[in-house]
């Protein structure tokens, strides 16, 4: 009797993506850059949805729940005590959690990563349970399952892309910077959120040229910050994946990819909070200087007005 083949890994998991990679012809794996880029994107998306390479189902003890959700048992107990998680099923002394707990826990973690405090999370979860449409406000589906790519490119007609910018010179500069890519009668906006921000600030009278100048100055600085942050994760990976040696087991690869996903989330949250605090402080200083200057010049202006 022929030995049974092991079951094929479930599609959408890290193991499933790795299986597809192994099944591809060697020539494709070696020569197609697009193939590799697509596989990398799939791996990170799978890591967000199914940490540790497996799809979740059934019932979990608290240790398993924490591992699948990418958090700690201590955090789960805190969320339970604060009323953010419903009570588990008790079987004797064993507490069993299910997929509802897992989904809710991922949502809680996502909202906390976004900067909400526990009180805000409780209010939003209550609103969600009451049937209010949080999806439009929070992007609830994305908050639950996550996504790897921060921004998805948007493809529109070339005329629509030009209309959104409304400035021929600015459009050409953005094409040169590859913020917009033109392909015949179509254009792909690679940074839709950046274009939205440009348009909003432009509405206050700031020129597109000024905004694009700022973008060109800021990108290298952001890249430097990114390099510093990612290097820490790269050093950790390099300790476990040695060049020229056999790759570790799939479960270990899954853990590494999941760690990088969480590293990205925490790095973005930390940098965002630091940048926001710095910008707020700088804006307050600017407003104080403007106000002080106004108050200093106001008596002089009033005196001149009375003299005239």
* Structure confidence by residue, pLDDT tens digits, 251-292: 677 777 777 777 777 787 778 888 888 888 898 888 888 878
Neighbours of 271 (CB within 10 A): 14
- Higher-pLDDT residue of 182, 119: 182
Please list the residues that pair with 60 across neighbouring strands. 97
Longest CA–CA span in the chain (Å) reads 110
Residue 199: its H or E element = helix 192-202
pLDDT of residue 183: 93
pLDDT of residue 144: 44
Domain edges within the chain: 62-133
CATH assignment, 62-133: 1.10.1660.10
In the sheet where 180-183 sits, what is the strand order?
Answer: 154-157, 186-189, 180-183
**Eight-state DSSP code of residue 13:** S
Q: Which residues of 160-191 are buried (b: 16+ CB within 10 A; e: fewer)?
A: ebbebbebeebbebbeeeebbeeeeeebbbbb
Residue 125 has pLDDT above 80, yes or no: no
How far is 180 from 165, CA to CA, in rounded Å?
10
Q: Which residues, at least 6 apart from 140, have a Cβ–Cβ distance to it below 8 Å?
A: 107, 128, 134
Asked if 190 and 179 touch (Cβ cutoff 8 Å), the reply is yes
Average pLDDT of the residues in 97-126: 79
Please list the residues that pair with 156 across neighbouring strands. 187
Most confident of 50-59, 125-134, 177-186, 278-287: 177-186
Q: pLDDT digits over 156-181, tens only?
A: 999 999 999 999 999 999 999 999 99
How far is 56 from 58, CA to CA, in rounded Å?
7
Four-CA torsion 119, 124, 126, 128, nearest 10 degrees: -170
Residue 154: its H or E element = strand 154-157
Task: Report CA 229 to chain centroid distance, whole Å.
Answer: 15
Task: Report CA 125 to chain centroid distance, whole Å.
Answer: 21
Taking all residues of the chain, what is their mean pLDDT, rounded to a whole number?
A: 78
Look up the pTM and report it. Answer: 0.55
pLDDT of residue 95: 86
- Higher-pLDDT residue of 170, 296: 170
Tokens of 87: 């009570």
Residue 136 has pLDDT above 60, yes or no: no
Residue 140 has pLDDT above 60, yes or no: no
Q: pLDDT digits over 59-82, tens only?
A: 788 988 888 887 889 999 999 988
Closest C-alpha to 185, from 147, 153, 156: 156
Please list the residues that pair with 267 across neighbouring strands. none
Q: pLDDT digits over 97-106, tens only?
A: 887 788 788 8
Closest C-alpha to 114, from 284, 276, 232: 276
Asked if 190 and 153 touch (Cβ cutoff 8 Å), the reply is yes
How far is 110 from 265, CA to CA, in rounded Å?
9
Tokens of 82: 């604060």
Tokens of 142: 């994305």
């Amino acid at each position: 009797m022929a030995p049974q083949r092991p079951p094929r890994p479930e599609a959408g998991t890290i193991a499933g993506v790795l299986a597809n990679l192994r099944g591809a012809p060697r020539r494709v794996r070696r020569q197609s850059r697009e193939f590799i880029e697509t596989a990398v994107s799939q791996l990170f998306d799978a890591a967000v949805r199914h940490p540790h390479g497996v799809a979740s189902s059934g019932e979990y003890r608290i240790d398993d729940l924490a591992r699948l959700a990418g958090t700690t048992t201590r955090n789960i107990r805190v969320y339970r005590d604060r009323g953010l998680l419903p009570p588990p099923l008790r079987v004797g002394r064993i507490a069993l959690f299910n997929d509802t707990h897992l989904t809710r826990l991922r949502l809680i973690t996502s909202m906390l990563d976004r900067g909400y405090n526990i009180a805000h999370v409780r209010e939003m979860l209550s609103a969600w349970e009451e049937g209010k449409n949080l999806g439009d406000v929070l992007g609830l589906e994305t908050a639950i399952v996550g996504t790897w790519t921060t921004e998805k490119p948007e493809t529109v007609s070339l005329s629509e892309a030009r209309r959104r910018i409304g400035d021929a010179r600015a459009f050409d500069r953005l094409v040169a910077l590859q913020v917009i890519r033109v392909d015949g009668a179509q254009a792909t906006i690679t940074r839709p959120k950046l274009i939205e921000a440009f348009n909003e600030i432009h509405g206050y009278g700031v020129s597109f040229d000024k905004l694009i100048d700022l973008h060109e100055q800021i990108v290298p600085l952001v890249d430097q910050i990114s390099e510093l942050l990612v290097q820490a994760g790269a050093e950790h990976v390099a300790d476990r994946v040695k060049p020229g040696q056999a790759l570790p087991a799939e479960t270990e690869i899954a853990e590494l990819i999941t760690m990088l996903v969480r590293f990205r989330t925490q790095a973005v949250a930390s940098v965002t909070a630091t940048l926001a605090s710095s910008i707020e402080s700088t804006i307050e200083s600017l407003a104080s200087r403007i106000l002080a200057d106004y108050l200093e010049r106001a008596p002089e202006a009033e005196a001149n007005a009375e003299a005239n």
